[in-house]
Amino acid sequence: MDREAYIYSAADITLLSFEEAVRKRPVMYFGAGSASPDLPTSILRGVINDALHPVGGGHRRADAEVTADLRFTVTDDQLPDLDHLGEPRPGFYGSLIGKTRWALAAAAALSTRTLIEVRAGGRGWRQELTGTAPDRPEPFTASGQADGTRVTFDLSTAFLGPGAVLSTSPEQLRPCGLSCGACSSAHRDDTLTIRDRRP
C-alpha cells in the first residue's frame, strides 16, 4: 500500500464561517437536516430554548408567535449585551444578536430576513438583517416597555425541503423535554406562550 496516498495536509482542511456551517449542516444546530419537513419547527424550538435558558443558567419567560408558515417571532426578557456607555456590543455578523445567542444567529443564517429589537432601561435599538448582513441599528425610545429581546425570522425556502412549514404542536415545541423541571409543562402561561396567528 502506498503510504504517500494517505498523507493529510492543511490543503485538505476547509474553514467554514458560522453562517456557512449552519447552512451546510443545520442538523448540527437544530437536530433536523435541510431535507426534513421538520426543520422550521426545529428552528423555532431552538430559538425558544435559547430564550428560556440563557447562557449562565436560570430560567426565563418567552412568548412565541407564528404569523406565516415560515415566519415567527420570539420575545423574551433577556437583556442585550451593553458596553460601558450603555450601547449594544456588536454580536454575530456585527449585529444586535448577542455573542452568547448562537441559536438566534443560526436561525438568521437560514432566513431571508431577520428583524431584531433589544430594549434596556428605557432605550431600544432595532435592526434588520438581510440574510446575515445587518443594517445599521436604529435607536428608539423604549420608556414604558419591558427590557428584553424580540426577534422575527422569515425562514428562507432556499435552505428548506419541500413541504416544510412551522408546527405549533406542544409536543414538537417542548424546548427541553423532561430535563428541565420548569419546562416539563412548557406551555404554562407563566413560562411560555405560543400563539398561531396564521389565517
Mean pLDDT rounded to a whole number for the chain: 88
Identify the domain containing residue 143 by its residue range: 17-196
Is a pLDDT exceeding 90 seen at residue 121?
A: yes
Q: Report the pLDDT averaged over residues 58-84.
A: 94
Q: To the nearest whole percent, how much of the chain has pLDDT over 90?
A: 70
Q: Report the pLDDT averaged over residues 51-79.
A: 92
Q: Report the pLDDT averaged over residues 111-115.
A: 98
Q: Report the pLDDT averaged over residues 79-86.
A: 94
- The CA distance from 52 to 175, in Å, is 8
Phi and psi torsions of 138, nearest 5°: -110, 120
Q: Is residue 41 part of a domain?
A: yes
Is a pLDDT exceeding 60 seen at residue 189?
A: no
**Cβ atoms of residues 91 and 80 within 8 Å:** no
- 3-state DSSP percent of the chain in helix, strand and coil, to 5: 25, 25, 45
Q: Is residue 5 part of a domain?
A: no
Q: Kind of pairing, strands 62-68 and 192-196? A: parallel
- The CA distance from 98 to 76, in Å, is 13
Q: Is residue 166 part of a domain?
A: yes
Over residues 125-184, the pLDDT tens digits come to: 999 999 999 999 999 999 889 999 999 999 999 999 999 999 988 777 766 554 565 565
The residue whose grid cell reads 424546548 is: 175
Q: Is residue 6 part of a domain?
A: no
- The CA distance from 189 to 149, in Å, is 19
Three-state DSSP class for residue 119:
strand
For residue 97, give the CATH number of its domain. 3.30.565.10
Q: Is residue 1 part of a domain?
A: no
- Domain count for the chain: 1
Q: Residue 27, Cβ neighbours under 10 Å: how many?
A: 14
Q: Is residue 34 part of a domain?
A: yes
Q: Is residue 79 part of a domain?
A: yes
Q: Is the pTM of this model over 0.85?
A: yes
Confidence of residue 16 (pLDDT cuts 50, 70, 90): confident
Q: Is residue 10 part of a domain?
A: no
